[in-house]
Amino acid sequence: MELPTFKEAEGEREFRVEVDILSRLEHPNLVSLIGYCADGKDRFLVYEYLQHGNLQDHLNGQFIAQNTILIPKSLISHLVICNCILGYGKAKMEWPLRLKVALGSARGLAYLHSSSDVGIPIVHRDFKSTNILLNANFEAKVTILRLPNNLN
């Protein structure tokens, strides 16, 4: 379905405003916007890569590390001694690590709610464990995939 010209222009303006705002949000507990792609009608936001995936997978013990080590699935069950180091298997997060992630996530939200670098408070609207990503040191970074409509 083709959009009328004025709706295309409005969508482009909203995208540019969103990129501008997201690029100004800088905090250790927010996922950083690296850049964007605007090619024809396609629009993409590019965020930093976080090695340990999202919090939900760790809480459920479903995270499988994607390291440079390739191990056949048939051998994964034999890696009991490497379970916590490589992330294979069903190991769940221990409570001290959960607390570290919770505090990091809270710091990221507090930054957004306290005007941040944009000048107005931002309410996340979709805060859940799949939107909390973890870096190599298991430090939490909150993702902001879409801004509230009132900011566009």
pLDDT at position 134 is 95
Burial class of residue 132 (count of CB atoms within 10 Å of its CB; 0-12, 13-18, 19+): buried
**Residues forming the active site:** 126
As a whole number, mean pLDDT of residues 120-149 equals 87
Q: Read off the pLDDT band of 64 (50, 70, 90).
A: low
Token representation of residue 5: 């010209």
As a whole number, mean pLDDT of residues 33-60 equals 89
As a whole number, mean pLDDT of residues 82-108 equals 75
C-alpha dihedral, 135 to 117 to 145 to 110, nearest 10° = 70
Percentage of residues in the chain having pLDDT higher than 90: 34
Global pTM? Answer: 0.72
Give me the domain span that covers residue 61.
5-151
Q: Read off the pLDDT band of 29 (50, 70, 90).
A: very high
Give yes or no for a contact between 80 and 89, defined as CB atoms under 8 angstroms apart.
yes
Give yes or no for a contact between 139 and 28, defined as CB atoms under 8 angstroms apart.
yes
What's the CATH code of the domain at 108? Answer: 1.10.510.10
Domain count, the chain: 1
